[in-house]
Structure formats: C-alpha cells, structure tokens
Amino acid sequence: MSMTNAEMAAKIEQGDGFIAALDQSGGSTPKALKGYGIEEGAWSSDDEMFDLIHQMRSRIITSPCFSSGKVIGAILFERTMDGTVEGKPTPQALTDRGIVPFIKIDKGLEAEENGVQLMKPMPELDRLLERAKSLGVFGTKERSVINAANASGIAVLVAQQFQVAKQILTHGLIPIVEPEVNIKSPDRAESDKLLLSAILEELDEIPEGQRVMLKLSIPAEPGKFDALVDHPKVLRVVALSGGFSREEACRELAKNPGMIASFSRALLADLRAKQSDSEFDATLGQAINEIYSASTSKVLA
C-alpha cells in the first residue's frame, strides 16, 4: 500500500503528527551508536558500522509504535534509503506504514565564515535526486548553521539554501530547507529575525504553484515564524531539537502553533541496543507520545 505523491503531500501538509529525523550520517554515526550503547570497538570497518546503525533504524521503523499514525514522515540518510527493511527498500517500508520518506542530501558544513556555516558542494546531487525519486522518496533535507546574527552571512546562507531547493523542485521532490540557528548563540533572537526576513524574500522567488518546507530552530520568541507557517509557498514548518533535551524541546515547541517536530536526538536519546523489544518499544513509544503532543496540542506562550 504505497502512497501516491498527492497523498504524501496531503499527509505532510495536514497530517497530525511529526517527522522523525533518522539521518545521522558518516561523521555522526559513531556518536549515534555510542548513545545507543554500542562502543567504538564493536565494528572493524565502515560497512560494519553502517550495518549496526541500519539495524538500529530498522528496529525503530518496524516498532509497532512507529506506525501508530503519530509519525507522518521520516528523514533518511542516503545509505538507509539504499538499504532494506523487512526485505523492502527502506522508502517503501515507510510508505507501506503510512510514513512519508525524505532523504538528507547535504555533505556537511564548511568552516564558519561571517558567523555562518554554509553547505559543502554537492557535485553528485542530480544523480542522487534521480535515484531518490525512483525509490519513491517524497522530499529532501539540507542543513546549514547560523552561529551569529550577521546579516550578510545569513543572507548568503539562505540564498544558498534556496538555490539548492530550486534544483530539487526541478526533480519533482519537495525540499526541506534547514537553516539552523544555533540555540547556544547569545544573539539567537536577532538571528531569528534576520532569518525570517531573508526567507520571506527568497519565498517570493519560488515559482507560483511550487512549495518548500522549512526546518527551523524553535524561535527564541514564540510565534516568531507564524508568517512562514501561514505562507502559501510553504508546505509545512518543522522544528529541530538543536541540542535541547526532549523535555525542553517539547515545552518550547508547544508554544509555537503550526510548527511540528522533526527531532533526531530528542527522539532517540533513551534507546539502547541491549533493551528487550518490549523495553525498546515502550521507550520509543513514550518519546513519540511526548513529541506528538508538543506538535499537536499547543499552549499559550
């Protein structure tokens, strides 16, 4: 029972729930495995390391609570997209469960300049997008980081994000633009403001009838991104957890109507390789319920 593109778009636009970020890539995989309780000595090659992380992701995707309807999308790492879950290509295993698949496409960050870290070049992007499309992937995600409220740095960063987003749109995929504001930066509120106006300008350049998604840090000032949530060219605004604990991330997210979660660490933090299946499912289910609630039941800030 795979979903059509129109069904996936409707699910992402109107669905009650949140997007799981299962896309830790090469550099952050050892850290993700360590958090899961698998120490560095447990693998002797990159392939074995990626097998271990794939087993963890398969365990998450096949857990009954993952397909309870509260998770409406999942962001995959390229190797997870190319892998299989229960003998099916991972994107199909997700759509069979009513979960919309996305893929992380960026190749990591450049060194900081003008207070921001741009994305590294992606020379193979068109080929990756063609492969993703053929596997039934709905959209993509690309991340860059804002560390300081530097107007020219932020303008360049947002321009780069939207340049790539337009390339993705030509492949019939929906881009998730992720200009993360570092939640530890002292001028975070000012960065939010500069980011908002830069995004609004770029959205004017997106052709009529086309839409992007935005993955943003939870703003310092609740409701700051309301204009983006309501924007006709924005399919959905999702929030990253950005180093907040799950409790903090959920508390802050609940103050922002229309924003739903797309958490990674805040979703997976309590999962361990040694947990029995029932412990694993209960732990994941608890996290899913908390994040679902913050995404769907809003409080007045």
Q: Would you name the residues annotated as active-site residues?
A: 178, 215
Q: Is the dihedral of CA 246, 250, 253, 257 positive or negative?
A: positive
Quote the crossing angle between the two packed helices 151-169 and 188-205, to the nearest 10°: 40
Rounded Cα distance between 158 and 155, Å, is 5
DSSP E strands, the chain: 18-22, 71-76, 84-85, 88-89, 100-104, 116-117, 139-146, 174-181, 212-217, 234-240, 259-261
Please, what's the b/e burial string for 251-281 (b: 16 or more CB within 10 A of its CB; e: otherwise)? ebbbbbeebbbbbbbbbbeebeeebeeeebb
Place of tokens 């740095």: 153
CB atoms within 10 A of CB 221: 13
Half-sphere exposure of 97 (CA within 13 A, CB side): 27
Rounded Cα distance between 98 and 66, Å, is 10
- Give the chain's end-to-end CA distance (angstroms, integer): 40
Closest alpha carbon to 200 in 176, 221, 228: 228
Q: Give the pair of three-digit tokens for residue 277.
A: 């299946």
Answer for the pair 12, 100: CB distance below 8 angstroms, yes or no: yes
Place of tokens 């103050």: 255
Rounded Cα distance between 265 and 170, Å, is 31
